[in-house]
Amino acid sequence: MSAVRDQAGLQRTIALIPWYQLFNNLLFWQAVWFLYFQSELSGAEAIILYTVYDMSITVLEVPSGYFSDRMGRRWTLLLSALCALTGCIALAVGGSFAMLAMGQCLLGAGSAFKSGTDSSLLFESLTAAGRSDEVEAQEVRVWRFSLTGLALSAVIGGAMSLWSPVLPFYATAAAFAVVLLLVILMQEPPARAGTVITLRGQLGALRLAFLNPVLTWLFVLAVLMYAFSHLPFVFGQPFILTTLGNYGLATEAPLVSGMVTSAMMIVAALASLIALGARRRLGLPLLLLLAFGLQIALAGALALSTSALVIGVLLLRMVPDSLSGPFITARIQPLLEDSTRATYMSLKSLGGKVFFAATLLLAATSATDAGLLPADDLQRILGWYTAGGLTCIAVLALSAKYIAIEPPQKTE
């Protein structure tokens, strides 16, 4: 009887996970957060608040994975939902830099505790339920639910902010309340026996991994692409506000930002449909470099002009992720030992967040510490990012000639 209940619980968990991801990605604030922050504080402080969010994820990135392994997936996801819900309420209450910073810290903690644990719960539940052959199909389904949540909440959140600037944050808190309920209804998959790895052994294996030229090249690329992927996320909203202000339409910025973000998700989903074909035709190194080049070009376009036409370029923000992310992960996995795979992936994510946060802090020092972020500041900051990106891609392209980025072909 217990085995029957366990199976029913596992099946229920598998069925709930896509809906869990949908509500987790109902981030109604995503298209208006910068506009809200700089309406409460200043452009420079808004940049710093994003850094607070990113650094809170950074600090908890590896500890949250350890917590998940020791305490279980379900408890970790419950903590994630509680942190995110509380963070949204703190941001809605606002009123001071300290309150907004606390909200950003809690949101970052929610993201960190979710990272990796959600996919682990899905994989382990499918395995325990005897459905491990469905992992790929279920991951694709979860990705579609995630994109749906992001697309819907972006445009709805933009419209909400026209009614009240804090309404998107309260709406997101309500979504996380649903997430909390969904996690309560889930079941922890049975623990699987594993080999205990010593810290010394893990450090040794990691050292060997970073001595592998392919893994090092991909690590550097992934860190850089994380930063450039998030540039339009941070600076896209003030760019839209500045551009619409030129036409006397600044009050429409939240709604336009929401519509752009929603369309961005749809374009990214369409790009994923051609990704495999592009991978076969271009080869891995060229595809990855082109994806990074597209990110740099996007930053450059925003740096060169505040024309309304450039807003359309923002729709391409997540296309490079669709063309690179799955292939970077697929190339990395077979080159790592089981004992270091999750640690390496966590360090890769950590590296991207630390690098981007450091560059944002540097950018904040050159921004005007009063009111809205001026167009001149915005374009100068993005110009420096573009110049740095061009230098990095040149080095990566040159080094790729001497490293076997493309995996060896299998012989029959």
For every one of its 412 residues, what pLDDT tens digit does the chain have, with 9 covering 90 and above? 566 667 888 899 999 999 998 999 999 887 777 777 777 777 667 778 877 887 888 788 777 777 776 777 899 899 999 999 999 999 998 878 888 889 999 999 998 888 777 877 877 888 788 886 776 567 667 777 887 888 888 778 877 887 888 899 999 999 999 999 999 999 988 764 344 455 566 667 678 878 899 999 999 999 999 989 888 766 666 666 666 666 666 666 666 666 777 788 888 877 877 877 888 899 889 999 999 999 999 888 877 766 666 667 778 888 898 888 777 876 776 676 645 656 677 778 788 888 887 887 777 666 555 444 555 666 788 888 899 999 999 999 999 988 988 877 654 4
**C-alpha R_g of the chain:** 21
Same domain, yes or no: 213 and 185: no
| Non-local CB neighbours of 315 within 8 Å, separated by 6+ positions | 260, 263, 264, 267
In a domain, 158, yes or no: yes
Residue 411: inside a domain, yes or no? no
130 and 156 both lie in a single domain: yes
Question: What pLDDT shows up at residue 371?
Answer: 47
| Domain match, 181 and 208 both | no
The identity of residue 326, as a single letter, is P
Written as one letter, the residue type at 146 is S
Q: Closest Cα partner for 374 from 253, 280, 238, 187?
A: 238
What amino acid occupies position 78? L
What is residue 375's predicted lDDT score, i.e. its pLDDT? 58
Residues 273 and 267 sit within 8 Å (Cβ to Cβ): no
- 154 and 207 inside one domain: no
- The CA-based angle 326-20-172, given to 5 degrees, is 105
Please report the DSSP string for 363-400 in residue order. HHHTS-SSSS--HHHHHHHHHHHHHHHHHHHHHHHHHH
The CATH number that applies at residue 227 is 1.20.1250.20
Task: Report whether 158 contacts 257 (CB < 8 A).
Answer: yes
Last residue within a domain, chosen from 127, 160, 189: 189
Range of the domain at 293: 198-406
Asked if residue 173 lies in contact with residue 272, where contact means CB atoms within 8 angstroms, the answer is no
Q: How far apart are CA 144 and CA 110, in angstroms?
A: 21
Q: Does 143 fall in a domain?
A: yes
Which residues have CB under 8 Å from 385's CB, separation 6+?
A: 228, 231, 299, 303, 359
> Are residues 269 and 321 in contact, defined by beta-carbon separation less than 8 angstroms?
no
> Does 118 share its domain with 11?
yes
Q: Enter the pTM of the model.
A: 0.68
Question: Pick from 189, 224, 248: which residue ends a domain?
Answer: 189
Instruction: Please check whether residues 270 and 370 belong to one and the same domain.
Output: yes
Residue 152 shares a structural domain with residue 237:
no
**Residues 184, 262 share a domain:** no
The pLDDT, as a whole number, for residue 328 is 80
End-to-end CA distance of the chain: 48
Token duo for residue 383: 């110009």
Burial of 316-355, coded b for 16+ CB within 10 Å and e otherwise, reads bbbbbbbbbbbbbeebbeeebeebbbbbbbbbbbbbbbbe
Burial 235-269 (b: 16+ CB within 10 A, else e): bbbbbbbbbbeeeeebebbbbbbbbbbbbbbebbb
Do 79 and 9 fall within a single domain? Answer: yes
Could you tell me which residues come within 8 angstroms of residue 102 by beta carbon, excluding any fewer than 6 positions away?
Answer: 87, 90
| CA–centroid distance for 81 within its chain | 17
pLDDT score at 216: 93
pLDDT for the residue numbered 85: 96
Task: Evaluate whether residue 412 is within a structural domain.
Answer: no
Contact 49, 155 (CB under 8 A): no
Q: Tell me, what's the pLDDT at 192? A: 46
Which residue, 189, 207, 239, sits at the end of a domain? Answer: 189
The sign of the CA dihedral 76, 79, 84, 87 is: negative
> For the chain, how many structural domains are there in total?
2
